[in-house]
Amino acid sequence: DTGVSQDPRHKITKRGQNVTFRCDPISEHNRLYWYRQTLGQGPEFLTYFQNEAQLEKSRLLSDRFSAERPKGSFSTLEIQRTEQGDSAMYLCASSPGRRSSYEQYFGPGTRLTVT
Amino acid sequence: SQELEQSPQSLIVQEGKNLTINCTSSKTLYGLYWYKQKYGEGLIFLMMLQKGGEEKSHEKITAKLDEKKQQSSLHITASQPSHAGIYLCGADEFGKIIFGKGTRLHILP
């Protein structure tokens, strides 16, 4: 098992540009989560999927943010018209999502810097 | 929504010493996670507690959830440089995790 992977690991973009991040969960994990972490803070929940269905979205997820998990495997998080306040670490996690195990395993994160 | 408070915010410990980090919730905990994070990296799962009075250990790290399920502690025995990092507690809230702000642990050689 290779664990959760995220791509890219680092992204520098200019304000106003669009960016897209990818997350590949642990194989056969039904649930996939996105979190955002700013400096000195714990991660904050953004959204999560059960298979391909997006079950919950945080109020933090403005209209400029969209997440997809089209085939219930990998997921993408897109930010349109980036702002400096979007600079953060974007973390992806996955879990089996079964009654016996909801433990979430995190990827290495994508660090976004908006200049 | 649930809020978690971690104490201390920062901790400097001599190598070989024991230490304890606390996590207090504003509401009853139905699942409590402990993660470790190296600076600028992802989170490493340590353990998850669900039952009041539950205690789990992983190598030299032991975590407990109190009987009332509102407080958890993480104890490291004979600390090593590899234990340095940020320790985060998180509460399971209907599938998502609500995190505390973390405790930054520094180990002095």
B88, B96, B101 member nearest A45 (Cβ) = B96
A5-7 β-sheet, strand order = A5-7, A19-24, A75-79, A65-68
A108 to B42: CB separation less than 8 angstroms, yes or no = yes
For residues B36 and A59, give the distance between their C-alpha atoms in angstroms, rounded to a whole number: 26
Which residues, in sequence order, are bridge partners of residue B33?
A: B48, B90
Site from B25, B35, B43 to mutate, A interface, most A CB atoms within 10 angstroms: B43
Per-residue model confidence (pLDDT) at position A100: 57
Distance from CA of A65 to the nearest CA of B (A): 18
Under an 8 A CB cutoff, do B98 and A45 touch? yes
Pairing of strands B103-108, B10-14: parallel
| Interface contact B48, partner A, CB < 8 A | yes
Give ∠ CA A98-A67-B35 in degrees, rounded to 5.
Answer: 50
Tens of pLDDT, residues A17-72:
999 999 999 998 999 999 999 999 999 999 999 999 999 999 888 899 999 999 88
How far apart (Å, rounded) are the C-alpha atoms in residues A76 and A43? Answer: 18
- Asked if B5 has any chain A CB less than 8 Å from its own CB, the reply is no
Closest to B97 in 3D by CA, of A18, A85, A115, A35: A35
Average pLDDT, chain A: 93
Q: Name the 3-class secondary structure at B94.
A: coil
Give the tens place of pLDDT for each residue, B8-30.
999 999 999 999 999 999 899 88
pLDDT exceeds cutoff 60 at B72: yes
Secondary structure of A20-75 in HEC code, one letter for each residue: EEEEECCCCCCEEEEEEECCCCCCEEEEEEECCEEEEECCCCCCCEEEECCCCCCE
Contact A104, A96 (CB under 8 A): no
- Chain A residue with CA closest to B96: the answer is A45
Residue A4: Cβ-neighbour burial (10 angstroms; 0-12, 13-18, 19+): buried
Residue reference for tokens 């897109």:
A78
